[in-house]
Copies of this chain bind each other. A is one copy, B any other.
Amino acid sequence: MNSDTETVDITSRARVIKLLLMDCDGVLTDGRLWLTSDDDEQKTFHARDGQGISLLHRAGLQTGIITGRKSSAVDRRAHDLKMSYVHQYAKDKVKALEEILNVAGVSTNVCAYIGDDVGDIAVMHRVGFAVAVSDAVAETKQAAHYITALKGGHGAVREVCDLILKSQGRWDELMKGFD
């Protein structure tokens, strides 16, 4: 899908990222919701996405979630993975982005964001590296610098983690720890 010029652009954008933010439903999950009787909800996370986020952390990058919904499962997953920022029930995702950037002390150009739906477009227009999952809606794909090969909840987040780490020349060093 990407021409040579686009690949250069993607690599140069990914190379400087210090903070990877992402939507939850449809990105860290396949978008499916189980609404439970206690007014909470369940959703499934993917083990290989978790490994990617852990690799990012090992390389010194930070991560976070901005989601319009609210569930205890997201808190547990973020805690499980030691993610730094979790903004749930974020009715204004741009405001959440600004708060996170302020606390993290980084600018938009070193921030990446992964989305799947129209509610992610405003944030994607503001960050240095905007990514849409392969099953995102058309408008969200149009707002993206990069569209993943994998679907949300099926390894799309991992694909972005690996891309960032490889662009930054950190991959081979990290892989030595797994030999």
Residues of A within 8 A of B (CB): 25-26, 29, 31-35, 37, 40, 42, 44-48, 50-51, 55, 69, 72-73, 76-77, 80, 116-119, 121-122, 125, 135, 137, 139, 153, 155, 158, 162, 175, 178-179
A118→B155 CA distance, assembly (Å): 14
Q: Are A51 and B121 in contact (CB under 8 A)?
A: no
The complex is assembled from copies of this chain, and their number is 4
A118 closest partner in B (C-beta) = B178
Q: What residues on B are CB-neighbors of A179 within 8 Å?
A: 121-122, 125
Contacts A72-B37, A73-B35 given; indicate if A48 touches B116 (C-beta within 8 A).
yes
Q: Pick the most buried of A73, A118, A121, A155: most chain B CB atoms within 10 A of its CB.
A: A118
Closest to A79 in B: B35
A27 to chain B, nearest CB (A): 10
| Distance A162 CA – B138 CA, assembled complex (angstroms) | 11
Taking a contact as CB atoms closer than 8 A, the residue among B32, B35, B42, B118 that contacts A51 in the complex is B118
CB pairs A–B below 8 angstroms (18 shown): A26-B47, A31-B46, A31-B155, A32-B46, A32-B47, A32-B153, A33-B46, A34-B44, A35-B73, A35-B77, A37-B40, A47-B117, A48-B117, A118-B175, A119-B178, A121-B178, A122-B178, A135-B155
